[in-house]
Structure 1
Amino acid sequence: MILPTRTGRDAHTPRPLTVKRGVNPHASGSAHLCLGRTEILATVSVEDKPAPHMRGKKEGWLTAEYAMLPRATTDRQARERNLQNGRRHEIQRLLGRALRASIDLKHFRNQTLYVDCDVLVADGGTRVASVLAGYAALHDFADRLIQTGRLSEWPLRHAVGAVSVGLVGEELRVDLDYAEDKVARADLNVVATDAGLVLEAQGGAEDGPIAPEEYIRLLMTGVEAVGGLLRDLHRQV
């Protein structure tokens, strides 16, 4: 098998990240994020109504939704109308867990925050790019609340990001594009904070088992890479 090569970055360097916040004038917060050729639009909406399971609680709730536009990929995909789609449901749960960890929901009692992440262009890593885009949109949302005086305390408690890491042949690579993801013999999606705390790791071996040391190396490399991506993101938002 001929393994894909990288141009312009080494094995431990993520693809270029660019982010612009405040791109949707109708949303309470928004961000357009590019990670290489993968593009995500994330928006934040607020509903003055508690989630059913949060009625009477002292905190609000955050939920996330994920969708891929029909021409996000090389071939047109049917528009996702089935909310029970397994992959979509799994990604939405990941996004919700990650983004709830980033925000102190005590500021939003009896409210529900919706973070919508739409994939405009897919070239691998759409779920990790959606975590980054969702966090950038929440950052925009939080900044608006402070600037308008609706909150006096910064509501974000953790900077949260994600990255993919994988073994392509014998080489550990950070932030796999689609061509690399297809041939990786093991891969993880690592969700972490800028302080190096792990929130989640999804994935595993694709071509037979790997040694525990390799798994740990994937995880630790991912955590370090998330820190770098978040520093880059914060310089832009």
Structure 2
Amino acid sequence: MSRRDGRNDDEIRPVRIVPGFATNSAGSVLYSCGGTTVLVTAQHSESVPPFLEGKGVGWLTAEYAMLPGSTPSRISRRTDGRATEIQRLIGRSLRAIVDRQALGPWTIHVDCDVVNADGGTRTAAITGAYVAVALGLRNRFGPERAAEVLKESIAAVSVGIVGGRPMLDLDYSEDSKAEVDANVVRLGSGGLVEVQGTGEGGVYSRRQLDQLLDLAEAGIDRLGQVQREALQGG
């Protein structure tokens, strides 16, 4: 049985990455995955937080927000607990692929603003942010140093169990009724960075978790291909 948008259970939504969308930022993308759209920018400052001063290493920090018109009901312009948790996830994920020694005493500032929300906003932010950061480093420091700083690629996708069926890349209508909801962040080379999984409607088995991870791995492989194509075109 196909899903609401006609996809099979193991298919991601159509992905579109527009590099250089915000022309004043060193790196930027407009990232769309189905009905979810996120604007991601990456900018740089020649400074680091106080706890890193004098250590010769850099830092990456991320901010995340849902814009007021991104959902049917207006969202206030404020950072709540959910947004704080998500921006910490984005920062942790991206720092896993940055060689902070090679970066030197610079900070990469990543801003993720959700323009339209239809599920999977945090995973879309991470996947789009990798491209924005890669473009920003290339434009700011040149391709050779960018390759030294960015050790790996990274992408993320949601998975879940809806009506007893393991599914990849949930939209809001699926996520809102899922018995199990998980987000998987993985390096391009295959190492898992983070797995967030919750039994919204009860418990789930190890076998079901393995099924979800298998779906996520396949989805992230596909997202990696789209990221590479965007970087070649950007």
Normalised TM-score (structure 1): 0.91
**Counterpart in the other structure of 1:31:** 29
1:225 correspondence with 2:225: no
**Counterpart in the other structure of 2:102:** 107
From 153, 164, 170, the equivalent of 1:176 is 170
Gaps of 5+ in 2: none
**Counterpart in the other structure of 2:84:** 89
Aligned counterparts, 1:1-237, within 5 A = 5-80=3-78, 82=79, 85-145=80-140, 147=142, 151=145, 153-237=147-231
- The one-letter amino acid paired with 2:27 is G
CA shift for structure 1 position 147: 4.3
Structure 2 residue matching 1:102: 3-state secondary structure: coil
Gaps of 5+ in 1: none
- The one-letter amino acid paired with 1:117 is C
* C-alpha contact 2:27 2:136 (8 A) present in aligned 1: yes
- The one-letter amino acid paired with 1:170 is G
Q: Deviations over 1:185-223 (max 9, x none)?
A: 001100001222100011210111111111122123212
Once residues 3 and 207 of structure 2 are traced to their aligned partners in structure 1, the CA distance between those partners, rounded to angstroms, is: 25
How many residues align? The count is 231
CA shift for structure 1 position 28: 1.6
Once residues 91 and 71 of structure 1 are traced to their aligned partners in structure 2, the CA distance between those partners, rounded to angstroms, is: 19
Percent identical? 37
Which piece of structure 1 moves more, 227-236 or 27-36?
227-236
CA shift for structure 1 position 78: 1.4
Point out 4+ residue stretches in structure 1 off by more than 6 angstroms.
Answer: none
CA shift for structure 1 position 174: 0.4
Once residues 165 and 15 of structure 2 are traced to their aligned partners in structure 1, the CA distance between those partners, rounded to angstroms, is: 23
- The one-letter amino acid paired with 1:132 is T
- The one-letter amino acid paired with 1:29 is G
The 3 A distance-change label for structure 1 pair 172 and 153 is closer
Q: Calculate the aligned-residue CA RMSD, in Å.
A: 1.9
* C-alpha contact 1:193 1:227 (8 A) present in aligned 2: no
Structure 1 residue matching 2:69: 3-state secondary structure: helix
* C-alpha contact 1:64 1:93 (8 A) present in aligned 2: yes
- The one-letter amino acid paired with 2:173 is A
The 3 A distance-change label for structure 1 pair 154 and 145 is farther
